[in-house]
Amino acid sequence: MKVVAFNGSPRRDGNTIRLLRIVCETLEEQGIETEIVQVGGKCVHGCMACMKCAETLNHRCVLTGDPVNEWMEKMFAADGIIIGSPTYFADLTPEIKALIDRAGFVALANGGLLNRKAGAAVAAVRRAGAIHVLDSINHLFGISGGMVTVGSSYWNLGIGLNPGDVDADQEARKTMEDLGKNLAWVLKKITA
Ligand SMILES: Cc1cc2nc3c(=O)[nH]c(=O)nc-3n(C[C@H](O)[C@H](O)[C@H](O)COP(=O)(O)O)c2cc1C
């Protein structure tokens, strides 16, 4: 069983990845393999709406000049997917949006490559807009063939401005630990 988590922040040691690490450590304690993939800060293209993925049906996007195909391959192979983003103007980062649009479209075009996987969204925020980030990510799970969207004891967010600030948010730590436990519980059910 494997969970892949995507860090949408260009900060490689910022608040988003710190939240993702807590979820992943909790999953590992439950015997579930995890991998965190760096997405933010990479030069990625959005979906071109060329519809070629619906012709080739090879589980790939025709755009090959960036790592999005490599990321979607990891997504399609995983049992669970966590998408994390900092809050940028009350929404997710463009790198994560490109991943969602391209992987989501390739998955649908190929008959549902995300079907019945578990998904969770995570957001870092200074003050406001994180709920919208979570909503934007959850839209992918809601249209992807019976994916199970996993929540926690609070919405899956942590508060902080500068890298590491989120470490002081004790409620966020508990929220991420509970998210990891819930995700592990769901995964054990759906892969049984
Ligand atoms: C371009 C940009 C836009 C931002 N917009 C918001 C916002 O709308 N609301 C907010 O509360 N914080 C906003 N922030 C602050 C970040 O969400 C916050 O610093 C977060 O912890 C960053 O996570 P990271 O360390 O993983 O990058 C913004 C930061 C940047 C760089």
Residue nearest to atom 2 of ligand 1 (CA): 88
Q: How confident is the model at residue 153 (pLDDT cuts 50, 70, 90)?
A: very high
**What range does the domain containing 73 cover?**
2-190
Kindly state the percentage of the chain with pLDDT values over 90.
98
pLDDT, residue 155, reads 98
Is there an atom of ligand 1 within 6 Å of 90 CB?
A: yes
Six-digit token pair at 155? Answer: 């919405």
Say how far apart CA 138 and CA 150 lie, in whole Å: 10
CB of 132 sitting under 6 A from ligand 1: no
**Is residue 158 within 6 Å of ligand 1 at its C-beta?**
no
Q: Residue 145's pLDDT is what?
A: 85
CATH code for position 33: 3.40.50.360
Q: Is the pLDDT of residue 91 over 90?
A: yes
Q: List pLDDT tens digits, range 96-138.
A: 999 999 999 999 999 999 999 999 999 999 999 999 999 999 9
Name beta bridge partners: 121: 83
Q: Where are the alpha helices (DSSP H) in the chain?
A: 15-29, 53-56, 68-77, 94-109, 130-142, 170-190
104 lines ligand 1 (CB under 6 A): no
How many other CB atoms are there within 10 angstroms of residue 70's CB atom? 11
Cβ of 128 below 6 Å from ligand 1:
yes
Residue whose CA lies nearest to ligand 1 atom number 27: 9
Give residue 129 CA to ligand 1 midpoint distance, Å: 9
- Check whether 192 has a pLDDT greater than 90: no
Domain count, the chain: 1
- The tens digit of pLDDT for each residue in 49-80 reads 999 999 999 999 999 999 999 999 999 999 99
